[in-house]
Amino acid sequence: MNTPNKLPDIKKEAFTKARESLGLSTKELSGMACLSVRQIEQIENGESSSFYGPQVKVTAAKKVAGLLKLKEEDAFDFGVVATNKAESKKETQKEAKDSEKVVKQVQSADAESSKSIKTNAPEKADNVKKLSPSQKAIDQRNQSAASKNPKRKLYILGGVAAALVFSIINLRPLFFPEVVKEEVVVMEQTQAAAPVDVPADPKATPPASTPEPVVAAVAPAPAAVPSTECPADTAAVSYKPDAPKKAGDMVYLQSKTAQTVCVVDASGKTQNKTLEAGVGTSVYGKPPLKVLTSGAAQVDIYYQGVKVRLSNITAKNILLEPAELTQPLAPTDSQFR
């Protein structure tokens, strides 16, 4: 009776001892076996989450066992499968021995019959009749053995073939990664249609040739780079907020054009700020603060939380004098708008 093929159990301790005896780490062994470090660790600790299935794990374990020079009986526990194979092997050997005994008996009987044939011809027929049952038994045994062995071989070959197909399907992504297809984008450029030459009428008078005007190439003007020097320190217009909301130690400047703005505080410290159009910056100092610009109309100034509005828009320098606060101080690092 044939039993279904059962996967053997992996003796994880044998793999660990063999690897340590060879002085190999899991990383080195994974490189030799073309497996991941996680798969080597799961072969040794009994887990199987990194494998596609039990058959794939057993196949990988057999490969690792070959690298560690482990025998199959030392690396795997075949259980019922091994005992069935051993019993079938014993039965086959027993049948072979029985057939050899029968053959020897037939050969001895043939020898005796040949001797008797020389002495007495009638006894030859009797010997032939006596040997015929033994020959039938030999033929039956040979036929039964021949009928059993091919089936057993077919079952074994079929199991091995199924295991190989299953392992190839599951291990294909590891050894044969998919090739990334490259897409080539072809861009077509449309060319303008060439002008069609119209034949001239021979009867028509040719037009008078007019000289084409010569246009001189004009080089583009270089972009103006703002100067990093402070504007001239001239007479300044004084300004004090009517309803201040913030402290007077900071002024916020937002330029409308690219220019350099300077702020001079009460201690005489001068701070240069080169601003692009639409860029703002905060300047801290000891009040009062004097702001030097190329024109008050080209920059928005916020002082003590209030926008500075001057009656003289042509003024270039503004002296910002602090006013007393009528409400609690707000954080001085906020943007004044």
Per-residue pLDDT for the chain (337 aa), expressed as one digit of tens each?
A: 444 567 888 888 989 998 899 899 999 989 998 999 999 998 888 888 888 888 998 999 899 989 988 888 888 888 754 555 656 677 777 777 876 775 687 577 667 766 654 555 455 445 444 545 556 666 676 666 555 566 778 889 999 998 888 888 887 766 666 665 556 555 655 554 445 554 555 455 555 555 555 555 555 555 556 677 888 888 888 888 888 888 889 989 888 888 898 999 999 899 998 988 888 899 899 999 898 888 878 888 998 788 888 877 788 888 889 998 876 655 555 455 4
To the question of pTM greater than 0.85 for the whole model, the response is no
Q: What architecture (CATH level 2) is domain 9-77?
A: Orthogonal Bundle (1.10)
Residue 6's alpha-carbon distances to 2, 74, 152, 153, 278, in angstroms, are 12, 17, 15, 17, 79
Residue with tokens 């091919």: 150
Helix (H) / strand (E) element for 13: namely helix 12-21
Residue 168's alpha-carbon distances to 35, 156, 160, in angstroms, are 15, 18, 12
